[in-house]
């Protein structure tokens, strides 16, 4: 069922529909003005699928930093950003001279579905032509088991005699900085594999795409092949009789130097192997997705179940085990912020992913360890010790925006250290802590030791000249989140150093005990920074001391803090503030308020495929940061999960609308188990 709201947003009424499908999203209107394309990914490659069912080379929607050509791939960057990749899965159908496209075709009985269980997009419609009608069906997916591989399969069944033309294309038109460096290898005519490769970007990264076609029946005429300079096209023509189905399946591989020392031949081998045994490839794809969904969150509210699956699906599309690749704020669905890495990963996306799939959560902390040398260079450039993790980090960890005030959002250091500690607590991996995690935490503590300022008059340590998480505030002194995060990291470093046999700096405890945390004396309310006077804030800031940092505050001080700042958000706020407010409300025993906080996130989800935007009124899709917040509201709010040295703890804070919540495949200290949360309590099974 498609969201009926004209604005394309998920409404409360629709969210409460008891008949919502928890796994399948559907569109029946290809011309809807607010339509947003489907998203599929496999942890390496991501693409948006328009109404035609395959990623056509023309952009269907120019919005939200949409990637030219529709495809993104990890590890291929210019200096700071992911480079848009070839449209390597183009398979365009024509009848006569008319292309099967949304803006040129008369479509009836249109239905497009996205199956979150398998990452498959299916499109079916009847294409009205002057001579009759053609039933067109397309299935597209990115292989979860062979992550450099994509498959698009189109069938056409006319009810009149006609000529059908299928064009297999690889298009690098949108490939930035191609600069004439592309070289096309001309394969022999007898070779069924066609390949295009290019060196791109200032690092001269070699990327290759190869395609193989499987046609039933065989084309009646030889394929027409054209090298375009930025790719290739090959057209196959079929004479179809009424009722005869023409089937063309394209196997395409996209490989970079990061994936193979020989991308050209690796891409050819991958495409050919899949075409030789399509049944094996397909079954391995389904099995890989099945294993992912062995860890899930199940609730008895259809609307919430739908939102949970949409959120997990989007994150799963952007993560794969053992890759050190993690999504930027819009993942592989869009190129907002160039795909660079922020605190969004450590504080927002990491916890729900790691609790369900530590093997995927490992990528977040491994990425930070890999880029630790860059973080040390950042600190040294400021004359400081230890590691200063970049506010916007790319391949090396060096700060990519040193000229902007946001480069002084130094609270990211504590967020990185917190994630490293939480990964150890979830996984129970002592080797990780000894070899990687401890160094991240200790080097972060060394940074804070050299970054603090001693205020002799007030006899306290301060941190001056930082950009708050609330970016509206600009540069301030004594941002409460920055200061408390630093104190938390210093105490954590003392503990971890002792556990792993590293020297303990006595200054860590002294500084942590005397770091100034601004607070209102009577109510105990956290004050965002020294000079905060009630201005509009961009997002949760002071509330983050309560969750996830766990500052010990009275219930009245926690209540005063979230109540005060809830009224300071802008009208079209980003999602994370609602998530944090809901978690704290649940902790305070107000399940109704926590439920309202969840409902407050609904306008960020857009029809028909529930892509999430940063705010209700912008098109920065798919906002992985906010999805991490929504999942934490369910896990840490409704289920009360807390990651502690004694293990993951839970408490039932279920709203009225939910009678049961089950977390399948929850991890704590290396154990995997299921957890049932009901109105009467929590049960481990």
102 pLDDT tier (thresholds 50, 70, 90):
confident
Judge whether 384 lies within some domain.
Answer: yes
Domain boundary among 266, 292, 318: 292
Do 193 and 109 fall into the same domain? yes
Least confident of 180-184, 265-269, 459-463: 180-184
Mean pLDDT of 446-450: 98
Entry pTM:
0.96
Judge whether 22 lies within some domain.
Answer: no
Percent of the chain topping pLDDT 70: 94
Judge whether 191 lies within some domain.
Answer: yes
Residues in the chain: 685
Query: Is 199 an annotated catalytic residue?
Result: no
Query: Is 614 an annotated catalytic residue?
Result: yes
pLDDT over threshold 60, residue 279: yes
330: alpha, beta or left? (left if phi > 0; alpha if psi -120 to 50): alpha
- pLDDT tens digit sequence for 331-364: 999 888 999 999 999 999 999 999 999 999 999 9
506 pLDDT tier (thresholds 50, 70, 90):
very high
Q: What is the pLDDT of residue 210?
A: 95
**Per annotation, catalytic residue among 2, 614, 646, 656:** 614
Q: What is the pLDDT of residue 85?
A: 87
Q: What is the pLDDT of residue 198?
A: 86
Do 258 and 331 fall into the same domain? no
Strands (E), 96-193: 98-99, 106-115, 120-129, 132-142, 149-158, 162-171, 182-183
Secondary structure (3-state) at 84: coil
For the chain, the average pLDDT equals 93
**Per annotation, catalytic residue among 457, 471, 587, 646:** 471
Do 304 and 278 fall into the same domain? no
Q: Is the dihedral of CA 31, 63, 87, 117 positive or negative?
A: negative
Strands (E), 42-105: 45-49, 71-73, 87-95, 98-99
Strands (E), 559-623: 605-606, 611-612
d(C-alpha 587, C-alpha 649), whole Å:
13
Q: What is the pLDDT of residue 194?
A: 92
Do 554 and 636 fall into the same domain? yes
Judge whether 642 lies within some domain.
Answer: yes
Q: What is the pLDDT of residue 2?
A: 45
CB-based contact 634:341 (threshold 8 Å): no
Mean pLDDT of 293-316: 98
d(C-alpha 198, C-alpha 257), whole Å:
11
CA 88 distance to own-chain centroid: 22
CA 265 distance to own-chain centroid: 30
Do 309 and 169 fall into the same domain? no
177 pLDDT tier (thresholds 50, 70, 90):
very low
pLDDT over threshold 50, residue 1: no
pLDDT over threshold 80, residue 190: no
Q: What is the pLDDT of residue 657?
A: 96
Secondary structure (3-state) at 25: strand
Distances (CA, A) of 585 to 542, 566, 603: 15, 12, 21
Do 310 and 432 fall into the same domain? yes
Q: What is the pLDDT of residue 635?
A: 98
Token pair for 561? 């803090």
Residue 327 has, within 13 A of its CA and on its CB side, a CA count of 37
Domain that residue 88 falls in: 36-292
Percent of the chain topping pLDDT 90: 82
Block residue for tokens 């038109």: 173
Edge-first strand order for the sheet with 38-41 is 38-41, 45-49, 71-73
Block residue for tokens 């040294």: 380
Domain boundary among 292, 319, 339: 292
Judge whether 16 lies within some domain.
Answer: no
Do 208 and 336 fall into the same domain? no
- pLDDT tens digit sequence for 159-168: 999 999 999 9
Judge whether 646 lies within some domain.
Answer: yes
Do 147 and 187 fall into the same domain? yes
- pLDDT tens digit sequence for 606-632: 989 999 999 998 888 899 999 999 999
Do 278 and 316 fall into the same domain? no
What percent of the chain is helix, strand and coil (3-state, nearest 5)? 35, 25, 40
Q: What is the pLDDT of residue 439?
A: 98
Q: What is the pLDDT of residue 62?
A: 45
Do 331 and 392 fall into the same domain? yes
Mean pLDDT of 280-301: 98
Do 283 and 335 fall into the same domain? no
The CATH number that applies at residue 43 is 2.70.98.40
Q: What is the pLDDT of residue 36?
A: 85
Domain boundary among 258, 274, 292: 292
d(C-alpha 162, C-alpha 154), whole Å:
17
> Based on the structure, what is the number of domains in the chain?
2
Q: What is the pLDDT of residue 294?
A: 98
Residue-by-residue DSSP string for 332-369: TT--GGGG-B-HIIIIIIHHHHHHH-HHHHHHHHHHHH
Judge whether 23 lies within some domain.
Answer: no
Cβ contacts of residue 171 below 8 Å, gap of 6+? 57, 69, 86, 87, 90, 228, 230, 231
Judge whether 208 lies within some domain.
Answer: yes
Do 288 and 303 fall into the same domain? no
Q: What are phi and psi of 131, to 5 degrees?
A: -90, -10
526 pLDDT tier (thresholds 50, 70, 90):
very high
98 by Cβ neighbours in 10 Å (0-12 / 13-18 / 19+) ranks as: middle
pLDDT over threshold 80, residue 122: yes
Mean pLDDT of 447-467: 98
The CATH number that applies at residue 363 is 1.50.10.10
CB-based contact 363:324 (threshold 8 Å): yes
């Amino acid at each position: 069922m498609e969201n009926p709201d004209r604005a394309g947003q998920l409404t409360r009424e629709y969210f409460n529909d008891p008949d919502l499908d928890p796994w399948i999203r559907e569109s029946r209107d290809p011309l809807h003005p607010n339509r947003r394309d489907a998203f599929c990914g496999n942890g390496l490659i991501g693409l948006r699928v328009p109404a035609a069912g395959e990623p056509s080379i023309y952009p269907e929607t120019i919005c939200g930093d949409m990637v030219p050509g529709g495809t993104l791939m990890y590890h291929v960057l210019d200096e700071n950003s992911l480079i848009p990749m070839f449209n390597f899965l183009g398979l365009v159908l024509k009848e006569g001279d008319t292309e099967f496209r949304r803006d040129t075709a008369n479509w009836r009985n249109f239905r497009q579905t996205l199956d979150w269980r398998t990452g498959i997009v299916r499109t079916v419609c009847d294409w009205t032509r002057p001579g009759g009608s053609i039933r067109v069906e397309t299935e597209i997916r990115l292989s979860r088991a062979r992550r450099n591989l994509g498959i698009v399969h189109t069938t056409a069944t006319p009810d009149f005699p006609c000529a059908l033309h299928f064009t297999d294309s690889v298009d690098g038109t949108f490939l930035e900085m191609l600069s004439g460096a592309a070289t096309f290898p001309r394969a022999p005519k007898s070779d069924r594999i066609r390949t295009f490769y290019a060196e791109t970007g200032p690092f001269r990264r070699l990327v290759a795409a190869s395609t193989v076609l499987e046609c039933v029946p065989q084309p009646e005429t030889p394929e027409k092949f054209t090298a375009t300079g930025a790719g290739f096209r090959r057209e196959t023509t079929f004479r179809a009789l009424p009722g005869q189905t023409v089937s063309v399946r394209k196997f395409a591989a996209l490989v970079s130097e990061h994936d193979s020392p020989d991308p050209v031949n690796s891409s050819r081998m991958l495409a050919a192997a899949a075409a030789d045994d399509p049944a094996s490839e397909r079954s391995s794809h389904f099995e890989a997705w099945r294993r992912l969904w062995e860890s899930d969150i199940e609730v008895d509210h259809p609307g919430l179940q739908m939102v949970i699956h949409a959120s997990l699906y989007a994150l799963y599309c952007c993560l794969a085990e053992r890759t050190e690749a993690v999504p930027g704020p819009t993942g592989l669905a869009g190129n907002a912020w160039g795909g660079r890495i922020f605190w969004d990963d450590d504080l927002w996306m990491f916890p729900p992913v790691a609790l369900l799939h530590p093997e995927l959560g490992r990528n977040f902390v491994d990425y930070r360890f890999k880029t630790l040398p860059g973080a040390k260079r950042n600190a040294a450039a400021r004359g400081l010790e230890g590691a200063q993790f970049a506010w916007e980090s790319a391949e090396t960890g060096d700060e990519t925006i040193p000229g902007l005030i946001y480069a002084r959002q130094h609270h990211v250091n504590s967020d990185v250290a917190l994630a490293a500690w939480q990964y150890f607590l979830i996984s129970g991996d002592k080797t990780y802590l000894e070899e990687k995690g401890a160094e991240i935490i200790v080097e972060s503590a060394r940074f804070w030791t050299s970054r603090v300022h001693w205020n002799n008059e007030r006899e306290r340590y301060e941190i001056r000249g930082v950009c708050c998480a609330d970016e509206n505030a600009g540069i301030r002194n004594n941002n409460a989140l920055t200061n408390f995060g630093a104190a938390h990291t210093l105490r954590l470093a003392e503990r971890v150093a002792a556990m792993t046999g590293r020297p303990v700096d006595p200054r860590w405890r002294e500084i942590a005990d005397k770091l100034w945390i601004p607070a209102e004396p009577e109510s105990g309310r956290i004050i965002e920074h020294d000079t905060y006077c009630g201005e509009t804030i961009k997002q949760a800031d002071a509330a983050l001391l309560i969750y996830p940092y766990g500052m010990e505050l009275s219930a009245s001080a926690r209540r005063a803090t979230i109540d005060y700042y809830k009224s300071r958000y802008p009208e079209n706020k980003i999602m994370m503030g609602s998530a944090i407010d809901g978690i704290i409300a649940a902790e305070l025993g107000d399940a109704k308020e926590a439920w309202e906080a969840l409902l407050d996130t609904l306008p960020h989800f857009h029809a028909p495929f529930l892509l999430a935007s940063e705010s209700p009124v912008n098109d920065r899709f798919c906002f992985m940061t906010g999805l991490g917040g929504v999942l934490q509201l369910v896990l840490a709010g409704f289920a009360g999960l807390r990651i502690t040295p004694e293990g993951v703890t839970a408490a039932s804070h279920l709203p009225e609308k939910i009678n049961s919540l089950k977390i399948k495949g929850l991890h704590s200290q290396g154990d995997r188990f299921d957890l049932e949360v009901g109105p009467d309590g929590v049960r481990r099974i």
